[in-house]
Amino acid sequence: MALLEVKNLGISFGGLRAVNNFNIQIQEGELYGLIGPNGAGKTTLFNLLTGVYKPGEGSIFLDGKNITSYKTIDVNKAGIARTFQNIRLFKQLSVLDNVKVGLHNQYHYSTLEGIFRLPRYFQIEKQMNEKAMELLKVFNLDGYSHYKASNLPYGQQRKLEIARALATNPKLLLLDEPAAGMNPNETAELMETIQFVQKEFHMTILLIEHDMKLVAGICEKLTVLNFGEVLISGKTSDVLNDPKVITAYLGE
Amino acid sequence: MDELAYATEKEGMMKKLRINKIIRNYTTYAVILAVYVIVNWMIQRGSISSLFQGLLIPLCIYAVLAASLNLTVGILGELSLGHAGFMCVGAFSGAFFTQVTQQIFTNGYLRFFLAILFGVFFAGVAGLLIGIPVLRLRGDYLAIVTLAFGEIIKNLVNVLYIGKDSRGLHISLKSSIDLGLEADGKVIINGAMGITGTPKDSTFFISILLLFVTVLVIQNFIHSRAGRAVMAIRDNRIAAESIGLNITKYKLLAFSISAAFAGAAGVLYAHNLATLTATGKNFGYNMSIMILVFVVLGGIGNIQGSMIAAIILTLLPELLRNVSPFVSENRMLFYALVLIFMMLFGQSPKAIQFRKKYFTLSTYLKEKPKKEV
């Protein structure tokens, strides 16, 4: 059974058909790419998957469970975490705290225990710190743990966002243009990190990307979106050589 | 640099940061205690004028109000202009409790403690109820609606009549005659005339204690799981939602805690006056804005700073009275000048650099750099 299965998904904004009859199947452990020209509806699709928009029609199944009508927080609790095209970190919080907020739903103590500093507060906070540092270490961010998130360099902020998403312990990770604004070196490093995350955490990843080198380098399968519709789906090498895809990107 | 040296240095830096943090957190408590001890000693020696002795309790009240509003404005990130309204709820419910239970609890301290809890509870509930509609709004809209709710509370209290007789409590929104009290009855809340004859239970000790508890609860809240969630929501609501934080729950939680402490300050206020009325001067938007000035001046999100600002700005008009006839006559002019100066000194980058260099506690605690031989 596929981890994520989307059937006939569609949404309209007024007269604009943003996504139409979208189908996708992602198996567990896959690194799946979603590409397409600007305005093709890629980010809209992410917003549909994470419950930011309610789909007009169609259904979304995660691990066999219908999550079509879920709210954003419930989608996250069901096991989908995401990053954003324009970085959305908790800017005033420290790098460590950003990840600790991601751990919020896995480590529990009551507000009163927190206010009165009962033993459980110290115990759980210690566990959270250890877990968060572990995650930061994966992304080579452990040296910056006390920095304010907004003071990190751009590339590190992208990584921190992925670390925060991973902290919620998802089954599926959605990355919205993780390499946007990065130089070739940073992109290469990011490619390694994404592959590392896939292997180390046995993570299923769906990523939107414009950088063809990155897509061709790490994605096993691709879906190409054009004007809200699936142009073609399949193995990366097949898709990238398809005349329809070349036409969509470069024109006739 | 080899890896081991790097790791050791990093460890050392983290340790120093942690120590700095501990110093910063505990100095507040130490300063509050020190202030109490010193002021008490000065009262016993008789070196504080009666005018200033009268100011001690209001100072604590304003500091509590400023710290609690900072939870809403600085930590939750929502501009609230109705803080005096919650103070009003606390003041009236606290005073009401004291009046009703005066015969039951003869121990003044116990009764006052319960009155504070009573006021805190009602102000917290008011915060919760008002928060549900208000926190759906953002920014300027939220500010305006909280302003309106603050005024509504004040005006509601002004038409509220509650009396007590042998048959129990009577409530009316028309007049005290409408209560239909029996001969032995007593009007407790008398509409616009308010509550009279509340015992003066507020003492400097209790006020300082309340201030201490306020700082403790708010600081610990900020550094707990819930507080982090609140700050995450402030920084980026969409991202907070995407990692599974319940936005409504944490917004309401912070807003209610903030309202509850305003209520506690209100109870102190009510038990410091013989007659408690809800006028524009004490519970109107002027008051709300004054508390907001404390917060903005002391630093949005800086609990200690807002308390210091509250104390300085409350003392200032009284201090200026004693300087020279010229200053004394143009007191409010100088008040405004000091306000502007403090605003500049608090915010400008150069001033911050200057302060860091000369006025940070940790600079004195740090080891002096050794001179090269």
User: Closest Cα of chain A to B76: distance in Å?
Assistant: 12
* Interface contact B220, partner A, CB < 8 A: yes
For chain A, list residues whose CB is within 8 angstroms of any CB belonging to chain B.
50, 52, 72-73, 76-77, 81-82, 84, 88-93, 97-98, 100-102, 104-105, 107-109, 111, 114-117, 121, 124-125, 128, 143, 145-146, 164-165, 167-168
Count of domains in chain B?
1
pLDDT tens over chain B, length 373 residues? 456 666 666 667 767 777 777 777 788 899 999 999 999 999 989 888 888 888 999 999 999 999 999 999 999 999 999 999 999 999 999 999 999 988 888 788 899 999 999 999 999 999 999 999 999 998 899 999 999 999 999 999 999 999 888 888 888 888 888 888 877 788 888 888 889 888 888 899 999 999 999 999 999 999 999 999 999 999 999 999 999 999 999 999 999 999 999 999 999 999 999 899 998 888 988 999 999 999 998 888 889 999 999 999 999 888 888 778 888 788 888 888 888 888 887 777 888 788 777 776 655 555 444 454 4
- Average pLDDT of chain A is 91
Give the residue from chain B lying closest to A92, CA to CA. Answer: B235
> Per the domain annotation, does B216 fall within a domain?
yes
Q: What is the pLDDT of residue B187?
A: 87
CATH of the domain at A24: 3.40.50.300
Same domain flag for A174 and A72: yes
Same domain flag for A176 and A164: no
DSSP string, B252-308: HHHHHHHHHHHHHHHHHHHTT-SEE---HHHHSHHHHHHHHHHHHHH-TT-HHHHHH
Tell me the residue range of the domain where A94 lies: 88-168
> Per the domain annotation, does B41 fall within a domain?
no
Q: Is the pLDDT of residue A150 over 70?
A: yes
Same domain flag for A159 and A174: no
Q: Is the pLDDT of residue A84 over 80?
A: yes
- Burial pattern A75-89, b for ≥16 Cβ within 10 A else e, equals bbbbbbbbbbeebbb
What percent of chain A stands above pLDDT 70? 100
Same domain flag for A182 and A221: yes
Residue A224 neighbours by CB distance under 10 Å: 23
Handedness of CA B215, B220, B222, B227 (dihedral sign): negative
Q: What is the pLDDT of residue A128?
A: 95
Count of domains in chain A?
2
Domain boundary among A168, A186, A204: A168
> Per the domain annotation, does B25 fall within a domain?
no
Residue B121 CB-density burial (10 A; 0-12 exposed, 13-18 middle, 19+ buried): middle
Give the residue from chain A lying closest to B248, CA to CA. Answer: A73
Residue B26 CA to residue A187 CA, distance in Å, equals 45
Q: What is the pLDDT of residue A111?
A: 93
Q: What is the dihedral of CA A230, A235, A241, A244, to 10 degrees?
A: -10
B174 three-class SS: coil
Domain boundary among A168, A199, A225: A168
Give the residue from chain B lying closest to A105, CA to CA. Answer: B244
Same domain flag for A102 and A63: no
> Per the domain annotation, does B200 fall within a domain?
yes
Tell me the residue range of the domain where B101 lies: 49-322
Token pair in block for residue A101: 């907020």
Nearest one of A108, A193, A115, A72 to B217, comparing CA atoms: A115
Residue B40 identity (one-letter amino acid): N
Q: Is the Cβ pair A88, B238 closer than 8 Å?
A: yes
Same domain flag for A164 and A178: no
Q: What is the pLDDT of residue B1?
A: 46
Angle value at C-alpha A135, between A132 and A141, nearest 5 degrees: 95
Same domain flag for A14 and A138: no
* Interface contact B239, partner A, CB < 8 A: yes
> Per the domain annotation, does B336 fall within a domain?
no
Edge-to-edge strand order for the sheet containing B186-190? B168-172, B161-165, B186-190
Element (H, E) at A81: strand A80-82
Residue B212 CA to residue B126 CA, distance in Å, equals 24
Backbone angles phi, psi at B107, to 5 degrees: -75, 110
Token pair in block for residue A116: 């009165």
Residue B106 CB-density burial (10 A; 0-12 exposed, 13-18 middle, 19+ buried): exposed
Residue B114 CA to residue B93 CA, distance in Å, equals 11
Q: What is the pLDDT of residue B365?
A: 55
Nearest one of B279, B250, B238 to B87, comparing CA atoms: B279
Same domain flag for A162 and A189: no
Distance of CA B224 to CAs A26, B220, B230, B246, Å? 38, 6, 10, 16
Strands A65-66 and A57-62: antiparallel
Q: What is the pLDDT of residue B309?
A: 92
Q: From chain B, pick out residues whose CB is under 8 angstroms from the CB of A109.
A: 224-225
ipTM: 0.92
Test mutation, A83, A90, A103, A108, chain B, max B CBs within 10 A: A90
Residue B41 CA to residue B185 CA, distance in Å, equals 45
User: Closest Cα of chain A to B225: distance in Å?
Assistant: 7
Which of A93, A109, A116 is opposite residue B225, by nearest beta carbon?
A109
Same domain flag for A159 and A178: no
> Per the domain annotation, does B128 fall within a domain?
yes
> Per the domain annotation, does B292 fall within a domain?
yes
What is the count of residue pairs from A and B with beta carbons less than 8 Å apart?
98
Q: Is the Cβ pair B236, A90 closer than 8 Å?
A: yes
Distance of CA B117 to CAs B94, B120, B142, B220, Å? 8, 5, 28, 20
Domain boundary among A144, A168, A192: A168
Those residues whose C-beta lies under 8 Å from the C-beta of residue A61, and which sit 6 or more positions away, are A2, A4, A5, A6, A7, A67
Residue A231 CA to residue B152 CA, distance in Å, equals 59
* Interface contact B245, partner A, CB < 8 A: yes
Same domain flag for A153 and A108: yes
Q: From chain B, pick out residues whose CB is under 8 angstroms from the CB of A102.
A: 243
Q: Is the Cβ pair A90, B231 closer than 8 Å?
A: yes
> Per the domain annotation, does B303 fall within a domain?
yes
Q: From chain A, pick out residues whose CB is under 8 angstroms from the CB of B221.
A: 111, 114-115
